[in-house]
Structure 1
Amino acid sequence: MRADGRQGKDRSRHWIGFIAIPVWCLLPVAWIVSLSFKSLEETAAGSPQFLPKDFTTSNYGEILKNDDFTRALINSFGIAMIATVLSVVFATPAAYAIARLEFKGKRLVLSMAPAIAMFPVVSLVGPLFDMWRTFGLFNTWPGLIIPYMTFTLPLAIWTLSAFFREIPWEMEQAAQVDGATSWQAFHKVIVPLAAPGVFTAAILTFFFARNEFVLTISLTSTTSSRTVPAQMSFFVGPDPFNPPYAQLATASVIVTIPVIIIVLLFQRKIVAGLTSGAVKG
């Protein structure tokens, strides 16, 4: 009886933890969603209640009609997608070489990849600002794509190299025995097997590039290439001491919806890529 009582207490504690943790994590998200349905007058008055007094969807209509915001959405998706595609294309053969070949400095290259990805972006802003102004890349898509690749490319290499190590070497040797060249074995055998890892690397790099703020706020001056994180900082409203919190919350919800959809649609591939690359090594 005592053992059953202890097991019952342990289960109740586990269930309390399982409920408390999601509630604690999702509470800010729920507050932002609730705030997006409040009127500007209600938020300006410092409304403390969770649910809006007067439920309204006018904020969504105003945000979607804002040309600067829609342009920022296009910029965010386009710049992040191009940086992701280039990073994955260059990282795939590089990660394969690191996983399969033996050369001097291999461990140094692999250990430097995450270090470069985590390098403080603020220290690059000053030199990049002067260089981009000189080369004519300031306030352009390439002016953001190139520095974005400084952290998306190492991240993709580090993720893919761990995944390529899990693919049996015999698969490639069997293809070569059947008459395939090294490139054909890599292209037709290894890359399809590494598809979950490639997809995982693409998702991670896309989210990193899409959420970047420091570079885009420093290397742009107009909405022609400014992305959403930077554009949202210009939502100041007519009163600088009372920002339009409802519009900021609405923009945050609109920006977050595509991320949630992508994760829900491809969560199995993301989990498969992460777990497959973390089994060994």
Structure 2
Amino acid sequence: MSNSIPTIGLGTFRLQGQIVIDSVRDGLAAGYRHIDTAQIYENEAEVGQAIAASGVARGELFVTTKIWIDNLAADKLIPSLKESLRKLRLEQLDLTLIHWPSPNGAVPVAEYMAALAEAKAAGLTRLIGVSNFTNALLRQAIDVVGAAEIATQQVEIHPFLQNRAVVDFARSQAIAITAYMPLAYGKVTQDPVLAAIAARHGVSAAQIALAWSLQQGFVVIPSSTKPANLASNLAVRHIALSADEMAQIAALERNERLANPAGLAPQWDAAA
């Protein structure tokens, strides 16, 4: 397995119990090899169960989890990651992210990034990264571990929230971007611009939104519980959008942030 992150992953946010087991099982059967979960999703054990039952070789899989804010302190991060590994039935994660920065800086960035780097050095995870970081927080993380050690910044990106300031800074540091909620909770399916482009290509508006992200070099992690949608999400690699179509989608930016939990979200960078 290389250090590159598979460009299309299967998200498991809000999926629990048998629903997430079925989604991961069907996703792996469809050809997904990148699975994204998190401690706070409370589905790591079910994801691990589905992976174990799939028969897919461990070396073919790329599994990501995320450290929850309650586990950011230096004495908690590694024990919590070991518990995630136990639930996932894995000896090593492919990627471990800080899920959200510590609210109000209660735990310093330097403390949890150093603990995350220690987890990597101990072999608990091959790669490390961050999620939901502002540019200022990402700079702090870089100061601790170096930009080359941060495999990705995972942030909300879809046609209605393009997070350009965050994308530009991450790119300047050669840090990959992973786009979560790339379908804006299904809102892309109702957009007339995306629908018109989709009609020209003979595909769905959701597929156009994913292709738009992939064409910018982002990793995408859509979630789905329907085998047909799982398959169509994977099929977007074959869609090539024109420069004019990319520009039309870029014009849909409206700073519509869907993941903005009070008391948890940082002071976001201004829309660029």
Relative CO higher for 1 or 2, CA cutoff 8 Å, sep ≥ 6? 1
**The structure with more helix, counted as a fraction of residues:** 1
TM-score by length of 2: 0.21
TM-score by length of 1: 0.21
**The structure with more strand, counted as a fraction of residues:** 2
